């Protein structure tokens, strides 16, 4: 690992000020530290944001659940409030990686990194989340822009993620047996008016499967999507899974999720 | 006194390990040490046109940079193949030079080219980045099945062929096959595995400018052997000026048998730069450069009669050696593989033909089981397929071909001293509720799942082993073991062993044995290993040999202590030696019932006299002191055996395979510590399930290791396993006085075919290769569905 300057600001303003094109925010460090260790990334300044109190914590209002950026996966997984309001979100957090990762990894780090096989982005998409940054509010569908890419600008910091509480939801995941990231993750959320089926792991970036969402919006049952072919074109094919296998898993887990709702 | 052998004595070593107080190589720091970082080839095959170290030498903190040129100039020898194997045509195997730092060509990704020493690790890394190597990249040979048709990667090794070896009689096999009702055939790939010891390799070297002695702390399974190789072949230092210490070692599985490049280079360099050197592998370096395991491509056939009798067996295997032949690399796919490939069966005619090839991949060497898992996989897949094709019960066909007389002269090499294969399989069937399987299968079916059951019966030849036998087969050294028992005046005892514990619990089991032999409390015994300056000599630990060879050396040394103790006690008690009986730590004069404890005798041996009287307890012809050593060379290998049964459930929608039940019944002869043996079996089964279902080493066509981290290489985890159901049968080994057999590798030997037989059973006989990953199984399920639909 190359040496770097370590900063631990107490508030968002200072953190933002320290940021530059050669800096990184450090939340759980679950992605940042390994990539620095492996020499895949190096930074002049590492800005630890864990000491910024206002970035951590969970708030539930009538219609939304707001999770602070540095809230750890284990906190979401075990939160009574989340379990009550959006049990699927707690379930998702509880199945991320392994215990060590859940004890350090954060929601802000997860969505800012936007790994194509991360779990949280699918929840953001399906639950019509609004990403609060120190500059603005961004709708989830505009936030995830591509592989490891987001709408965040330099110095922009995620402060919290506000999820809309659905009527019903479930998350189903086929873990990569090695890393336990998602080979495929399907988040199904039934809102008052419509249904969102968000898919992660399948393509270069999380997306809403419009066909499945539409069918379920008009009839929220397994039979509505039975036999629906999920096309493998455009899906990732790598040593862990072929596109064809991923496509099979998307339709399978969509059904499983509806069943579990 | 109750016997300790046979009881669940808690592990003495756990006190330090569980408190994080173990002392591993990386924990050792020496004042003024430098840090080594190796410059490694990023290419699988390349000519090294030039190495420019000038920028690195100027880099901050860099103390020295050395390359293949300097090591060649200093005439430091390279890494060696420990066994000379001869081809069927009588020619000797072809072994390329394997210099510690590659000078002219690099032959696998990760091969060391140069080394940088610096004041800090960061500076060494910076320096290493500044070494400029100019490569001419050549087309890599990666696939072992294609290696013989590809460019020769080593000068003088035609077709990349190390040897083309035959064991057995082709003509007799042809005759047997001509008589067969049916020929069962399998094509198998025994997947390459990365050993993944929890502790990465490391070394710390300290050159003493005054005594000119090199001390090498290293992660080795066999420090004396390392010293021998580094001295005799490496020319690093004379044997008496080289001290090798292998302190606590966190797992080896075979990957720490070899003397590696880094140990030779750092030892040589420490003398050159006159500074201590520390090197610790990063996990990526472990993935790339630890010797890997398995990697066979096999075609095998079994000739059978319609009623399920085995007539003949043939095995044609291509074994991938990787880029170089290492210590056990050439024997693993030959004498550790071929003889066991006929399994636990009476098969009148058999042969194994193995072609070992070089490829531009990490060297392949012994990995837990070494050759015997590959052998067992071959025969047990065939036997299971035979049962399926003949419509026979899987256990019945096995029983029908088991030997019932022991000693059993196995078809190809071994004479198995003892065993009862029928009892083992019967017990396994009972414990696994074999009879109830059909009901469980139906239940799974009702839930839309496919359930399968698999059996494998194995034996293996371990406890390697008789020197005359192994040296006649090409081994470069004899595989005896030594021990020394030092009874100190105060009654504390140090037992030195040449075996090395890196997870085998020798501190405990060896102490149990010595405590029983000498009738002393186990607390008084300290097992000492892993330091060439402390113990006499030793061949180390691998091939499940520690107890059956090293343990017996300890027994014999203890017996010498007792023999001398008897003579001394007789003199002290003023009786004849034959009137003394030794029992529970006491020498008793039978007539008078007067006694001396072994502690008193030891004390007298060191303080042989008394005030006011000219009287010595030491008999004429004996010497003071109470230290005895023994070298033990066993008359035979040891032959553990058993039967394992596995049940899996497959979800056809995802292809996920769940191991539902795993039953193992093993015969390890007399068991010294059941808890430790169970632990060894658990670990072995876990590794075997890993091979069968998870571990998938992949090189791309250019020779880059795709699975070089835990993000991509699937290690099995606790949640991949059911609770293991273990049972034991016991026939004592007749080849050693304790009646023990090796237990360290059995789990990894028996389990891959057991699991795969279950998976294939669930798939209705559809063949599938290891590892049976979810996608592969899903595809198989789909093709079954398709063919069922067609049939309907
Ligand atoms: C072995 C392993 C398994 C995993 N499995 C899963 C899984 O199954 N599912 C899953 O979803 N994830 C998984 N992850 C990812 C993990 O859960 C973390 O979410 C992820 O590594 C990043 O979170 P972090 O808090 O550690 O961020 P860091 O590593 O600290 O940061 C990651 C990136 O985000 C930026 N960043 C961090 N916080 C903010 C912020 N508030 N605002 C703006 N930018 C920010 C950083 O600058 C950096 O570029 C796994 C990770 C590992 C190592």
pLDDT tens digits, one per residue of A133-162: 999 999 999 999 999 999 999 999 999 999
Residue A248's CATH number = 3.30.390.50
Average pLDDT over residues A245-259: 98
- Nearest protein CA to atom 2 of ligand 1, as residue: A97
Could you tell me the residue range of the domain that residue B418 belongs to?
296-464+636-791
Using CA atoms, how far apart are residues B64 and B212, in angstroms rounded to an integer? 20
B32 falls within a domain: yes
Q: Please tell me the total number of residues recorded for chain B in this structure.
A: 792
The reported pLDDT for the residue numbered A185 is: 98
CA distance B10 to chain A (A): 29
A133 falls within a domain: no
- CB distance B263 to B226 below 8 Å: yes
Query: From the CA of B423, how far away is ligand 1's center (Å)?
Result: 54
A81 falls within a domain: no
Chain A CB contacts of B127 under 8 Å are none
B19: number of Cβ within 10 Å: 8
Contact: A239, B654; criterion CB under 8 Å: no
Residue B261 sits in the same domain as residue B305:
no
Most A CBs within 10 A among B128, B129, B655, B711, hence the mutation to make, goes to: B711
- CB distance B557 to B628 below 8 Å: yes
Query: From the CA of A8, how far away is ligand 1's center (Å)?
Result: 18
Token pair, residue B479, equals 């595989």
B321 falls within a domain: yes
The reported pLDDT for the residue numbered B786 is: 85
Residue B402 sits in the same domain as residue B524:
no
B193 falls within a domain: no
Contact: A249, B714; criterion CB under 8 Å: no
A176 falls within a domain: yes
CA distance B372 to chain A (A): 27
Contact: B715, A179; criterion CB under 8 Å: no
The reported pLDDT for the residue numbered B331 is: 97
Residue B561's CATH number = 3.30.365.10
Using CA atoms, how far apart are residues B761 and B381, in angstroms rounded to an integer? 11
Residue ending a domain, among B577, B597, B632, is B632
B577 falls within a domain: yes
Chain B CB contacts of A33 under 8 Å are none
Residue B230 sits in the same domain as residue B358:
no
Residue B591 sits in the same domain as residue B643:
no
Residue ending a domain, among B632, B650, B683, is B632
CA distance B453 to chain A (A): 23
A119 falls within a domain: no
A40 interfaces chain B, CB cutoff of 8 Å: no
Residue B707 sits in the same domain as residue B609:
no
Token pair, residue B591, equals 């007539």
A242 interfaces chain B, CB cutoff of 8 Å: yes
Chain B residue at shortest CA distance from A240: B712
Chain B CB contacts of A38 under 8 Å are 284
Give me the residue from A179, A240, A249 closest to B654, CB to CB.
A249
A35 falls within a domain: no
Residue B573 sits in the same domain as residue B498:
yes
Counting ligand 1 atoms within 8 A of each CB, the residue from A30, A180, A240 with the most, and so the one to mutate, is A30
A191 interfaces chain B, CB cutoff of 8 Å: no
Total structural domains within chain B: 3
User: Measured from the CB, is residue A56 less than 6 Å from ligand 1?
Assistant: no
User: Measured from the CB, is residue A155 less than 6 Å from ligand 1?
Assistant: no
Residue B133 sits in the same domain as residue B236:
yes
Could you tell me the residue range of the domain that residue A210 belongs to?
168-260
Counting ligand 1 atoms within 8 A of each CB, the residue from A7, A49, A97, A182 with the most, and so the one to mutate, is A97
B7 falls within a domain: no
User: Measured from the CB, is residue A110 less than 6 Å from ligand 1?
Assistant: yes
| pTM check: above 0.90 | yes
- The per-residue b/e assignment along B758-775, b for 16 or more CB within 10 angstroms, e otherwise, is bbbbbbeebebebbbbbb
User: Measured from the CB, is residue A108 less than 6 Å from ligand 1?
Assistant: yes
Tell me what ipTM this predicted complex has.
Answer: 0.95
* Tens digit of each residue's pLDDT (9 = 90 or more) over A54-113: 999 999 998 999 999 999 999 999 999 999 999 999 999 999 999 999 999 999 999 999
The reported pLDDT for the residue numbered B81 is: 96
Give me the residue from A174, A178, A241 closest to B711, CB to CB.
A178
Residue spans of beta strands (DSSP E) within B389-468: 408-409, 415-416, 450-459
Alpha-carbon dihedral angle through residues B15, B16, B21, B27, given to the nearest 10 degrees: -170
Query: From the CA of B183, how far away is ligand 1's center (Å)?
Result: 56
Residue B232's CATH number = 3.90.1170.50
A39 falls within a domain: no
Using CA atoms, how far apart are residues B782 and B189, in angstroms rounded to an integer? 22
Give me the residue from B694, B698, B778 closest to A177, CB to CB.
B694
Angle at B632 between CA B627 and CA B636, to 5 degrees: 165
Residue B499 sits in the same domain as residue B460:
no
User: Measured from the CB, is residue A57 less than 6 Å from ligand 1?
Assistant: no
> Is the pLDDT at A3 greater than 90, yes or no?
no
Contact: A252, B653; criterion CB under 8 Å: yes
Contact: B715, A178; criterion CB under 8 Å: yes
Residue B121 sits in the same domain as residue B62:
yes
Contact: B654, A174; criterion CB under 8 Å: yes
Q: Which residues of chain B have pLDDT under 50?
A: none
Give me the residue from B654, B714, B715 closest to A252, CB to CB.
B654
* Tens digit of each residue's pLDDT (9 = 90 or more) over A40-60: 899 999 999 999 999 999 999
A56 falls within a domain: no
Beta bridge partner(s), residue B659: B648
Q: Please tell me the total number of residues recorded for chain A in this structure.
A: 261
* Tens digit of each residue's pLDDT (9 = 90 or more) over A212-233: 999 999 999 999 999 999 999 9
Give me the residue from B122, B774, B779 closest to A3, CB to CB.
B122
SS3 content of chain A, % helix, strand, coil (to 5): 35, 25, 40
Query: From the CA of B367, how far away is ligand 1's center (Å)?
Result: 36
Give me the residue from A174, A239, A241 closest to B706, CB to CB.
A239
Query: From the CA of A31, how far away is ligand 1's center (Å)?
Result: 5
B152 falls within a domain: no
- CB distance B84 to B92 below 8 Å: yes
Most B CBs within 10 A among A31, A37, A40, A178, hence the mutation to make, goes to: A178
A145 falls within a domain: no
Residue B448 sits in the same domain as residue B484:
no
Contact: B713, A178; criterion CB under 8 Å: yes
Chain A CB contacts of B704 under 8 Å are none
B9 falls within a domain: no
Question: Which ligand 1 atom minimizes the distance to the CA of A102?
Answer: 17
The reported pLDDT for the residue numbered A39 is: 86
Residue B520 sits in the same domain as residue B653:
no
Query: From the CA of B775, how far away is ligand 1's center (Å)?
Result: 27
> Chain A to chain B, count of Cβ pairs less than 8 Å apart?
38
Closest of B100, B112, B106 to residue B137, by C-alpha: B106
User: Measured from the CB, is residue A93 less than 6 Å from ligand 1?
Assistant: no
A4 interfaces chain B, CB cutoff of 8 Å: no
Residue B529 sits in the same domain as residue B646:
no
Alpha-carbon dihedral angle through residues B96, B101, B107, B108, given to the nearest 10 degrees: 130
CA distance B703 to chain A (A): 15
Beta bridge partner(s), residue A248: none
3-state SS, residue B299: strand
- Nearest protein CA to atom 37 of ligand 1, as residue: A109
Most A CBs within 10 A among B40, B707, B714, B718, hence the mutation to make, goes to: B714
Counting ligand 1 atoms within 8 A of each CB, the residue from A16, A94, A101 with the most, and so the one to mutate, is A101
Question: Which ligand 1 atom minimizes the distance to the CA of A97?
Answer: 5
Furthest-apart CA atoms within chain B: distance in Å:
105
* Tens digit of each residue's pLDDT (9 = 90 or more) over B319-372: 999 999 999 999 999 999 999 999 999 999 999 999 999 999 999 999 999 999
Backbone angles phi, psi at B297, to 5 degrees: -120, 120
The reported pLDDT for the residue numbered B1 is: 63
B627-632 β-sheet, strand order: B525-528, B493-497, B481-487, B627-632
B625: Cβ contacts below 8 Å, ≥ 6 apart:
B605, B606
CA distance A30 to chain B (A): 12
Total structural domains within chain A: 1
B195 falls within a domain: no
Most B CBs within 10 A among A177, A182, A232, A244, hence the mutation to make, goes to: A177
User: Measured from the CB, is residue A46 less than 6 Å from ligand 1?
Assistant: no
Chain B CB contacts of A241 under 8 Å are 775
């Amino acid at each position: 690992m190359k040496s770097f300057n370590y900063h631990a600001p107490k508030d968002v303003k200072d953190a933002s000020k320290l940021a530059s094109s050669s800096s990184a925010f450090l939340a759980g460090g679950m992605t940042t530290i390994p990539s620095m260790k492996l020499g895949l990334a190096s930074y002049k300044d590492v800005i630890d944001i864990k000491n910024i109190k206002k970035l951590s914590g969970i708030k539930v209002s009538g219609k939304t659940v707001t999770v602070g950026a540095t809230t750890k996966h284990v906190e979401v997984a075990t939160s009574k409030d989340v379990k009550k309001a959006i049990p699927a979100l707690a379930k998702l957090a509880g199945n991320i990686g392994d215990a060590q990762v859940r004890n350090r990894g954060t929601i802000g780090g997860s969505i800012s990194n936007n790994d194509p096989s991360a779990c949280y982005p699918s929840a953001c998409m399906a639950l019509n989340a609004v990403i609060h940054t120190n500059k603005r509010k961004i709708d989830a569908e505009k936030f995830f822009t591509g592989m490891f890419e987001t709408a965040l600008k330099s110095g922009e910091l995620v402060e919290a993620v506000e999820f809309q509480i659905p009527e019903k939801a479930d998350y189903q995941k086929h873990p990569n047996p090695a890393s336990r990231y998602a080979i495929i993750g399907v988040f199904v959320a039934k809102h008052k008016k419509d249904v969102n089926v968000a898919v992660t792991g399948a393509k270069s970036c999380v997306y809403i499967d419009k066909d499945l969402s539409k069918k379920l919006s008009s009839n929220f049952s397994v039979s509505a999507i039975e036999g629906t072919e999920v096309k493998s074109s455009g899906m990732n094919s790598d040593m862990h899974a072929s596109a064809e296998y991923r496509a099979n898993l998307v339709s399978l887990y969509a059904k499983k999720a509806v069943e579990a709702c | 006194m109750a016997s300790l052998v046979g009881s669940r004595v808690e592990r003495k070593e756990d006190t330090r390990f569980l408190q994080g107080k173990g002392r591993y190589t990386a924990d050792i720091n020496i004042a003024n040490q430098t840090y080594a970082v190796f410059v490694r080839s990023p290419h699988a095959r390349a000519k090294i046109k030039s190495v420019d170290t000038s920028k690195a030498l100027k880099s901050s903190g860099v103390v020295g940079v050395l390359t293949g040129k300097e090591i060649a100039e200093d005439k430091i020898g390279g890494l060696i193949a420990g066994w000379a194997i001869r081809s069927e045509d009588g020619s000797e195997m072809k072994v390329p030079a394997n210099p510690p730092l590659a000078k002219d060509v690099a032959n696998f990704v990760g091969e060391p080219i140069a080394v940088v020493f610096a004041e800090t690790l960061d500076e060494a890394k910076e320096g290493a980045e500044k070494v400029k190597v100019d490569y001419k990249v050549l087309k890599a040979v990666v696939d072992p099945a294609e290696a013989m048709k590809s460019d020769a990667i080593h000068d003088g090794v035609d077709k990349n062929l190390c040897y083309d070896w035959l064991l057995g009689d082709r003509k007799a096999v042809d005759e047997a096959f001509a008589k067969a009702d049916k020929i069962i055939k399998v094509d198998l790939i025994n997947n390459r595995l990365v050993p993944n010891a929890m502790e990465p390799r490391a070394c710390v070297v300290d050159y003493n400018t005054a005594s000119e002695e090199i001390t090498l702390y290293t992660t080795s399974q066999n420090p004396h052997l390392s010293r021998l190789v580094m001295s005799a072949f490496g020319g690093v230092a004379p044997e008496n000026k080289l001290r090798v210490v292998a302190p606590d070692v966190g797992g080896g599985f075979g990957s720490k048998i070899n003397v590696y490049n880094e140990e030779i280079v750092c030892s040589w360099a420490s003398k050159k730069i006159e500074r201590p050197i520390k090197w610790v592998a990063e996990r990526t370096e472990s993935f790339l450069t630890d010797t890997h395991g398995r990697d066979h491509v096999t075609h095998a056939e079994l000739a059978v009669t319609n009623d399920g009798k085995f007539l003949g067996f043939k095995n044609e295997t291509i074994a991938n050696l990787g880029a170089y032949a290492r210590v056990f690399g050439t024997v693993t796919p030959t004498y550790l593989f071929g003889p066991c490939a006929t399994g636990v069966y009476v098969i009148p005619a058999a042969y194994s033909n193995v072609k070992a090839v070089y490829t531009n991949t990490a060297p392949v060497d012994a990995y837990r089981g070494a050759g015997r898992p590959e052998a067992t996989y071959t025969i047990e897949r065939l036997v299971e397929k035979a049962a399926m094709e003949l419509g026979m019960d899987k256990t019945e066909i096995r029983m029908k071909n088991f030997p019932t007389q022991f000693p059993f002269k196995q078809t190809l090499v071994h004479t198995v001293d003892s065993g009862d294969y029928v009892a083992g399989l019967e017990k396994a069937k009972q414990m696994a509720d074999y009879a109830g399987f059909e009901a469980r299968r139906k239940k799974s079916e009702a839930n839309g799942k496919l359930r399968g059951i698999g059996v494998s019966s194995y034996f293996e030849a371990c406890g390697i082993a008789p020197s005359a036998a192994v040296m006649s087969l090409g081994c470069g050294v004899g595989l005896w073991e030594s021990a020394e028992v030092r009874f100190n005046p105060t009654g504390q005892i140090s037992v030195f062993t040449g075996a090395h514990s890196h997870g085998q619990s020798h501190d405990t089991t060896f102490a149990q044995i010595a405590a029983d032999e000498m009738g002393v409390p186990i607390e008084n015994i300290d097992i000492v290993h892993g330091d060439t300056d402390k113990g006499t000599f030793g061949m180390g630990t691998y091939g499940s040999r520690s107890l059956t060879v090293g343990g017996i050396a300890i027994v014999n040394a203890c017996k010498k202590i007792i023999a001398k103790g008897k003579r001394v006690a007789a003199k002290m008690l003023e009786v004849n030696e034959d009137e003394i009986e030794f029992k529970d730590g006491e020498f008793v004069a039978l007539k008078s019932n007067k006694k001396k404890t072994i502690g008193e005798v030891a004390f007298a041996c060191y303080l042989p006299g008394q005030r006011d009287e000219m009287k010595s307890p030491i008999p004429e012809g004996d010497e003071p002191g109470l230290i005895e050593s023994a070298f033990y060379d066993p008359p035979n290998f040891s032959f553990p055996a058993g039967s394992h049964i596995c049940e899996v459930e497959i979800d056809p929608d995802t292809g996920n395979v769940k191991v539902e039940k795993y039953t193992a019944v093993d015969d390890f002869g007399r068991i010294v510590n059941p808890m430790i043996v169970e632990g060894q079996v658990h670990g072995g089964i876990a590794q075997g399930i890993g091979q069968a279902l998870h571990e998938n080493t992949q090189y791309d066509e250019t020779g880059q290791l795709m699975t070089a981290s835990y993000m991509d290489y699937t290690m099995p985890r606790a949640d991949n396993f059911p609770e293991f159901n273990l049972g034991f049968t016991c026939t004592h080994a007749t080849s050693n006085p304790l009646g023990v057999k090796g237990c360290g590798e059995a789990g990894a030997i028996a389990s891959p075919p057991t699991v795969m037989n279950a998976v294939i059973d669930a798939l209705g006989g559809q063949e599938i290769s290891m590892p049976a990953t979810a996608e592969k199984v899903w595809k198989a399920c789909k093709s079954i569905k398709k063919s069922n639909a067609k049939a309907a």
